[in-house]
Amino acid sequence: MDSSRKKSTRVTILDVARESGVSYSTVSRALNGFDFVKGATRDKVLAAAEKLGYVANVQARSLAGGKTRIIGLLVPGLDNGYIGEIVRGVDEEIAKANYDLMLYTTRRRVGREAMYIDAISNGPSDGIILIVPLLEREYLTALREHHFPYVLVDQIDPQMHSPMVDATNWQGAYDATKYLIDLGHRRIGFITGLRAIQSALDRLDGYKAALADHGVRFDETLIAEGDFFTPGGYAAAQKLLKHKPRPTAVFASNDLMALGAMQAIRDQGLEIPEDISVLGFDDIPQASMVHPQLTTVRQPLEQMGRVAVSLLIEQIERPDNLERAARRVTLATRLIERESCAAVPTSDMKG
Amino acid sequence: MDSSRKKSTRVTILDVARESGVSYSTVSRALNGFDFVKGATRDKVLAAAEKLGYVANVQARSLAGGKTRIIGLLVPGLDNGYIGEIVRGVDEEIAKANYDLMLYTTRRRVGREAMYIDAISNGPSDGIILIVPLLEREYLTALREHHFPYVLVDQIDPQMHSPMVDATNWQGAYDATKYLIDLGHRRIGFITGLRAIQSALDRLDGYKAALADHGVRFDETLIAEGDFFTPGGYAAAQKLLKHKPRPTAVFASNDLMALGAMQAIRDQGLEIPEDISVLGFDDIPQASMVHPQLTTVRQPLEQMGRVAVSLLIEQIERPDNLERAARRVTLATRLIERESCAAVPTSDMKG
DNA sequence: ATGAAAGCGCTAACAG
DNA sequence: CTGTTAGCGCTTTCAT
């Protein structure tokens, strides 16, 4: 059979053993670094391996209980600047650590997610990074049961105390709201994210807190429900624009919705930021490419990806050290002032 | 040892065998579909597998000569809209075919690319898609030698007759140039891609051909060397803008460079498209997000990714059928008219 | 410090 | 049609 396409020609650990005149398992030890191997022997083996162009077979290694140096990454999809940035950070850090990357999209095998996670943890990955906003808890319990290393990105999981990395959502929203208030705005429309997502809640709370701290009355009718996607932002903004008197600023819980809001505002014949200011959250690449450029709260997405990788590798390579390892890393957000916010029109100055 | 984190709890083919009261290999056969298994037996096995929550171990299967249903994808990096679109298409099609995806970035292990490809082909993937502009030939010979399925995207390989998918680069550039000529432009600056890349050459040729076919004299000094990246486009445009008389249009060999060119033009205090038209190639997402929106030649990037997958799966699943299989698929480009091109200013009408 | 040997879970002949 | 039996290439005890 030709099914052995990946085998026939390949140089195995046995070839290296022959070439270097030592045994089978000594080669394995030498190749894997540590373990008691005489310096000379090791050098001999390494030289032979190099000469023969030996490359370890990941499958075999994994099957025999070793590591594959493959990290899994589960994301909803790639069609979203937000995810893309995190993925870049993940990829970079993975490369640096000399691991490889398996990319999983949740689109796959919908409806059988439990089994899906099971498949992943039964696949070649040594561990997995989850960037999945609405992850079911069963996922995590399955992972836990198998002692399979994982880390959550931008998603908390109060019950299980999972390792995770996120950003200062509350503070970011607070800062942004304060910024708007300092600009003179009093009627600040707020577009929420999905209520089921903790970061969405935190941002809303930050907004409310800033209002309260600066003597601006919270107005429930200035809150519009969003879903983190552009069309949702558009619809929410439309609703907000009907509010009388019209809000002088709109703060969207993420950039994608802010983009939708900008479109809705323009479609009403209004100018940004002259008539109405718009502020986003995330700082995805598009934020600086639209016109006017979007003022937004920057999440260090790429860095979040990087940190996630290091948290995961820590678990993979030092399973013993788990208790002392960092369980949660929260990175700072930062307001990026661009062009979509301005002082409130003087006609509106009374507040 | 705990190295067996992925094993201990797991239900194997053996458990399924016990549960369903048949043997080891019968389970394997039933699970793998075909092979002569009595309907009743198969159902029994499937039921048992389902009940036990059995998930195949990819490593073991691969080691034993089976398929992993993993497809490798090698790209330069993710920081490029062009690649991103292709990757999305790849991911989608892979999901549809029920495969998984390993993502490799060339950034890794630079300087040892030969060995890198070797590692990939020795990894879990059943085959690999290469979106690597300047791939060394050794890569391909190595793949060939191992009879490892692969397909090239947007990259030709005349010597080896590799399976590949690309777009009508020549025609796309021809159409774009003609469009500009029809708009009255006669001094059309052209920013090239990397000369080592065939598609860059084809685009240049398409440009020249359109000029020739429409009686516009080719002017070598209207050609500026680019590298497919934004800063290179910026620099090339700067050079072009010094040309006397100034070109009335600039055609960049890809959108990234067109974006750079737009910036250079604005930095000279010139208006797009009033003073000078700009045209790109690719239609990356950013093209429709900049202001003014970029008129460009659309490559069906996502579809290219999809086709690449199907070409690869064809090889993986029907290794016998190889000779008859499609070796090259070329998809049509299409001019997308947006806002960055206008008729030549009347003052320039003489040509 | 090194060799021998036992699997890891599965596929694929090979016999019935 | 189904059971038996070799390995796939490697890590890891267990001896030595």
- pLDDT digits over B84-117, tens only? 999 999 999 999 998 999 999 887 655 656 667 7
Identify the pLDDT of residue A70.
Answer: 95
CB atoms within 10 A of CB B103: 22
Minimal Cα distance from B291: which residue of A? A291
Chain B contact for A57, CB < 8 A? yes
Q: What are phi and psi of B284, to 5 degrees?
A: -75, 160
Distance A328 CA to C4 C1' (A): 46
Contact between the CB of B61 and strand C at under 7 Å:
yes
Identify the pLDDT of residue A7.
Answer: 41
Helix H or strand E segment including A186:
none
> What does the pLDDT look like over A223-256, one tens digit per residue?
999 999 999 999 999 999 999 999 999 999 999 9
Identify the pLDDT of residue B78.
Answer: 84
Q: Is the pLDDT of residue A319 over 50?
A: yes
Identify the pLDDT of residue A141.
Answer: 81
Of A77, A122, A285, the CB nearest to B6: A122
Model pTM score: 0.90
Q: Which residue is nearest to nucleotide C2 (CA to C1')?
A: A26
Chain A contact for B53, CB < 8 A? yes
How far apart are alpha carbons B20 and A11 in whole angstroms? 39
Say whether A92 and B70 touch across the interface (CB within 8 A): no
Say whether B91 and A100 touch across the interface (CB within 8 A): no
Chain B contact for A108, CB < 8 A? yes
Say whether A104 and B108 touch across the interface (CB within 8 A): no
CA angle A209, A211, A216 (to 5 degrees): 150
Helix H or strand E segment including A150:
strand A150-153
Give strand letter and number of the nucleotide nearest A26 (CA to C1'): C2
Higher-pLDDT residue of A345, A108: A345
Say whether B53 and A118 touch across the interface (CB within 8 A): yes
Q: Token digits for B27? A: 């389970």
How far apart are alpha carbons B26 and A245 in whole angstroms? 73
Q: Token digits for B107? A: 């950034």
Q: Are strands B100-105 and A100-105 parallel, antiparallel or unpaired?
A: antiparallel
CA A242 vs CA A236, A276, B2: distances in Å: 10, 13, 61
Q: Is the pLDDT of residue A78 over 70?
A: yes
Contact present, B145 and B165 (Cβ < 8 Å)? no
Ranges of residues in chain B with a pLDDT under 50 are 1-7, 351
Identify the pLDDT of residue A351.
Answer: 44
Of A53, A77, A289, the CB nearest to B290: A289
Q: What are phi and psi of A299, to 5 degrees?
A: -100, 135
How far apart are alpha carbons B99 and B68 in whole angstroms? 8
Q: Measured between CA atoms, how close is B61 to chain A, in angstroms? A: 9
CA B322 vs CA B105, B308, B310: distances in Å: 28, 15, 13
How far apart are alpha carbons B163 and B169 in whole angstroms? 18
Percent of chain A scoring above 70 in pLDDT: 91
Helix H or strand E segment including B18:
helix B13-20
Identify the pLDDT of residue B349.
Answer: 58
**Which residue matches tokens 């025609």?**
B171
Q: Which CATH architecture has domain B1-66?
A: Orthogonal Bundle (1.10)
Q: Measured between CA atoms, how close is A96 to chain B, in angstroms? A: 7
Minimal Cα distance from A12: which residue of B? B122
What average pLDDT score do residues A126-144 get? 83
How far apart are alpha carbons B109 and A16 in whole angstroms? 22
> Which of chain C's bases lie under 7 Å from a protein CB?
1-13
What average pLDDT score do residues A322-339 get? 88
Contact between the CB of B267 and strand D at under 7 Å:
no
Identify the pLDDT of residue A212.
Answer: 98
Q: Is the pLDDT of residue A350 over 90?
A: no
Say whether A1 and B290 touch across the interface (CB within 8 A): no
Which residues 2-41 in chain A have a CB closer than 7 A to strand D?
Answer: 7, 10, 12-14, 24-25, 28-29, 31-32
Helix H or strand E segment including A82:
helix A81-96
Contact between the CB of A119 and strand D at under 7 Å:
no
Q: Measured between CA atoms, how close is B144 to chain A, in angstroms? A: 11
Mean pLDDT for chain A overall: 88
Of B60, B107, B145, the CB nearest to A9: B145
The secondary structure of residue A336, as a DSSP letter, is E
Q: Tell me if residue A40 falls in helix, strand or coil.
A: helix
How far apart are alpha carbons A122 and A150 in whole angstroms? 13
How far apart are alpha carbons B6 and B241 in whole angstroms? 62
Q: Cis peptide leading into B231, omega within 30 of 0?
A: no
Of B65, B123, B291, the CB nearest to A3: B65
**Which residue matches tokens 């498949």?**
A119
Q: Picking from A80-84, A269-273, A280-284, B85-89, which range would have the lowest pLDDT averaged per residue?
A: A80-84
Contacts of B79 in chain A (CB under 8 A): 88
Using the Cα atoms of residue A154, residue A155, residue A161 and residue A163 in order, give the sign of their dihedral: negative
User: What residues does CATH 1.10.260.40 cover in chain A?
Assistant: 1-66
Distance A16 CA to C2 C1' (A): 16
Q: Tell me if residue B214 falls in helix, strand or coil.
A: coil
Of A62, A88, A121, the CB nearest to B79: A88
Helix H or strand E segment including B89:
helix B81-96
Contact present, A167 and A304 (Cβ < 8 Å)? yes
Q: Tell me if residue A191 falls in helix, strand or coil.
A: strand
Nearest residue to A104 (alpha-carbon basis) of B98, B44, B263: B98
Helix H or strand E segment including A275:
none
Identify the pLDDT of residue B5.
Answer: 41
Identify the pLDDT of residue A110.
Answer: 55
What average pLDDT score do residues A135-141 get? 77
Nearest residue to A339 (alpha-carbon basis) of A271, A284, A285, A282: A271
Identify the pLDDT of residue B102.
Answer: 95
**How far apart are the two ends of chain A, measured CA to CA in Å?**
80
B54: left (phi over 0), alpha (psi -120 to 50) or beta: beta
Chain A, chain B: beta-carbon pairs less than 8 Å apart:
148
Contacts of A56 in chain B (CB under 8 A): 122
Contact between the CB of A59 and strand C at under 7 Å:
no
Q: Token digits for A311? A: 């948290």
User: What residues does CATH 3.40.50.2300 cover in chain A?
Assistant: 169-299+334-348
Distance B283 CA to C6 C1' (A): 58
Contact between the CB of A43 and strand C at under 7 Å:
no
Give the residues across from B280 on adjacent strands.
B296
Q: Is the pLDDT of residue A322 over 70?
A: no
How far apart are alpha carbons B130 and B141 in whole angstroms? 14
Q: Which of residues 118-147 of B touch A (CB under 8 A)?
A: 118-119, 121-124, 145-147
Chain A contact for B148, CB < 8 A? yes
Contact present, B339 and B293 (Cβ < 8 Å)? yes
pLDDT band at A150 (very low <50, low <70, confident <90, very high): very high
Of B56, B108, B118, the CB nearest to A95: B108
Identify the pLDDT of residue A42.
Answer: 84
How far apart are alpha carbons B116 and B133 in whole angstroms? 16
Q: Which CATH architecture has domain B169-299+334-348?
A: 3-Layer(aba) Sandwich (3.40)
Distance B23 CA to C16 C1' (A): 14
CA B132 vs CA B76, B99, B107, B281, B302: distances in Å: 6, 22, 11, 18, 16
How far apart are alpha carbons B119 and B136 in whole angstroms? 16
Q: Measured between CA atoms, how close is B26 to chain A, in angstroms? A: 20
Give the amino acid at B321. Answer: N
Q: Measured between CA atoms, how close is B292 to chain A, in angstroms? A: 9
Give the amino acid at A329. Answer: V
pLDDT band at A3 (very low <50, low <70, confident <90, very high): very low
Contact present, A82 and A76 (Cβ < 8 Å)? no
